[in-house]
Amino acid sequence: MSIQITLPDGSVQQIEPGSSALDVARNISPRLADAAIVAKVNGVLVDVNRPIEADATVQILTSKDPQALEVYRHSTAHLCAAAVLELFPETKLGIGPPIENGFYYDFDRPEAFTPQDLEKIEAKMWELQAKGLTFERKLIAKTEGLEKYRAMNEPMKVELIEERADDIFSEYTLGPHFIDFCRGPHIPDTSKIKAFKILSVAGAYWKGNEKNKQLQRIYATAWFSKKELDEYLNKLEEAKKRDHRKLGQELDLFSIQELAGPGLIFFHPKGGIIRKTLEDWMRNAYLERGYSLVYTPHVMRRDLWKVSGHANFYSENMFTPMELDDSEYQLKPMNCPGHILIYADRQHSYRDLPIRLGELGTVYRYERSGTMHGLLRVRGFTQDDAHIFCTPEQIEDEIVACLDFAQDTLKTFGFTSYKAEISTWDQGASGKYDGEPAMWELAEGSLRKACDRLGIEATVIPDEAAFYGPKIDVKLVDAIGRLWQLSTVQFDFTLPRRFELEYVAEDGKKHRPLMVHRALFGSVERFFGILVEHYAGAFPTWLAPVQATVLPITDRQNDYAKEVVAKLKAAGVRVTLDDRSEKVNLKIREAQMQKVPYMLVIGGREAEAGQVAVRHRKRADLGPVEVDTFIATITAEIAARTADE
């Protein structure tokens, strides 16, 4: 008796029980069967050759589908592991998941993998790929599987089976010599794998726990075509040139001092002036948009963090408490409890609301030593943190204002493209979310309506909200197409209840205000790093630490050069004088390397005529102009916060 298969377009096929999605694809067209990577059967990803025994909905996924690429990368990770075991049979296997842009695989091996080893592994992968080895799914009983993997001397696989495997679990073979505990699914065979590249090797603790053994993690990328691979590798090369850690050192912007400890940032004078410019803009924008500036302590009693709940659910991300003579104290990991105490310090009427409290507050979070990354992940950082306390009637307008503020931030700093995501709850199905259904409905509805009012196309991500409320994330797209998490607007149903916040409503009764967390830079340090990479260190003139440098050709022009510098400084331009007795071409080259927007060359003719010869870092020679004319031009550019050059 045949079974009924329903396809995405609503059409129906009758097939024999035990047939596969690949058979369904062949019935449609040989071309589709050849392109099939993986299938969805009743909404679940499965191997295309897995038997179907009952009526089902079936979707064939090809290289056009992002989920197919994830499976493809997972299969390429298995190919990598098989190659490693053929070359280095003493190696023990960890895990090998797909990740954004590729995959990694963790290995336990006595000797460190060398660059030459990585080349050998990649060559062996191509050798195995050419054999068209099949990925075959097998089922095995847990007790038998444990015996098998113990006999194979694969202790990490044994541990995973003990923790994760059902009574009957799946494993996948790849050719005659490789087998791995894995839920799958996988591509049909290695002939589908067309483009990959081993990238690097790094240390990684087993299960991410520094108390466990350190393994060697091989990172790689994999794509459906060589063209996509080449484009990605080119983007990687461009990203290396833009690496904020490299540019930060070359441009003398910031450092991380070993004596002080990792994850703690020292902003040098040039970086300091850029940071001041960022912070000044944000504080001024706070005031223009009706926020009140506040300042809260860096360290507070641990009792506060017990009331907020952080001491319980966030303790692993907090520094060790300090025992003082009167109590335990804690470096703050968040600014919100401090703002709540300011709100709660006096009684509020509905007429006082909304109350918007903003602070560029430095927080401290314990990040494990292997996880920190330049300015992007640190232990001490400053958030442009604001908290809004308002009535339910005000909330939609407040969300609109927050998102408008986020758009203004992106535009001001030169980002023209972004993506927005709304994270929602599961309608209470799991019981893991706090707050009443009516509050979730109001909050999620406000986020959606605010996006509609501003014309923002936001993707809804179900069941990804924080337990204490829904949120919207804004992710900017930088100059080379990378997505960066930036602004967040986050509801909080929990803290107002924990701190028993109130306001007196129009009915004369006490009500609980709605509370929204809001950060636009995310953190100053992270945003600084993003800016460095977005502009490749060549900041727009209004942000550049040195906006112009004056370059006299000989010592005879030094006095006039000093007059020019004085005029520029008086006009508010950040200017330096390079009066070294060096050739002017060397001075220009060094200024170019420091990415100074304008170089003002002064020779005898310029000094006599009261002019400067203007050279721009990108537009080259712009010719001689009167000093006052140049000052008018550059100050107008600074005032307009022009990003394009």
User: Does residue 385 carry a catalytic annotation?
Assistant: yes
Contacts of 162 (CB under 8 A, 6+ apart): 146
Q: Are 186 and 135 in contact (CB under 8 A)?
A: yes
Annotated catalytic residue within 385, 473, 478, 492: 385
Contacts of 256 (CB under 8 A, 6+ apart): 262, 263, 264, 265, 266, 374
Residue 341 CA neighbour count, 13 Å, CB half:
15
User: Could you tell me the two tokens for 285?
Assistant: 């924008």
CA-based nearest residue to 102, from 231, 223, 228: 223
Annotated catalytic residue within 73, 186, 310, 387: 387
At 11 the three-state DSSP class reads coil
CA 92/CA 116 separation, integer angstroms: 20
User: Does residue 289 carry a catalytic annotation?
Assistant: no
**H helix count then E strand count, the chain:** 20, 35
User: Does residue 365 carry a catalytic annotation?
Assistant: yes
User: Does residue 451 carry a catalytic annotation?
Assistant: no
CA torsion angle 284 475 513 493 (round to 10): -150
- From residue 399, alpha-carbon distances to 143, 305, 354, 395, 403 in Å are 55, 27, 12, 6, 6
DSSP one-letter string for 601-643: EE-HHHHHHTEEEEEETTTEEEEEEEHHHHHHHHHHHHHTT--
CA-based nearest residue to 551, from 578, 528, 521: 578
Annotated catalytic residue within 365, 534, 574, 595: 365
Question: Can you give the length of the chain in residues?
Answer: 645
User: Could you tell me the two tokens for 472?
Assistant: 């919207």
CA 183/CA 206 separation, integer angstroms: 20
User: Does residue 383 carry a catalytic annotation?
Assistant: yes
Beta-bridge partners for 472: 422, 489
Residue 31 CB neighbour total at 10 angstroms:
10
CA 215/CA 221 separation, integer angstroms: 20
Annotated catalytic residue within 92, 186, 471, 534: 471
Residue 531 CB neighbour total at 10 angstroms:
22
At 171 the three-state DSSP class reads strand
Beta pairing class for 195-205 and 214-223: antiparallel
Annotated catalytic residue within 448, 517, 534, 587: 517
CA 209/CA 472 separation, integer angstroms: 31
Annotated catalytic residue within 336, 390, 402, 451: 336
DSSP one-letter string for 417-453: -EEEEEE---TTSSS---S-HHHHHHHHHHHHHHHHH
Enumerate the active-site residues. 336, 365, 383, 385, 387, 471, 517
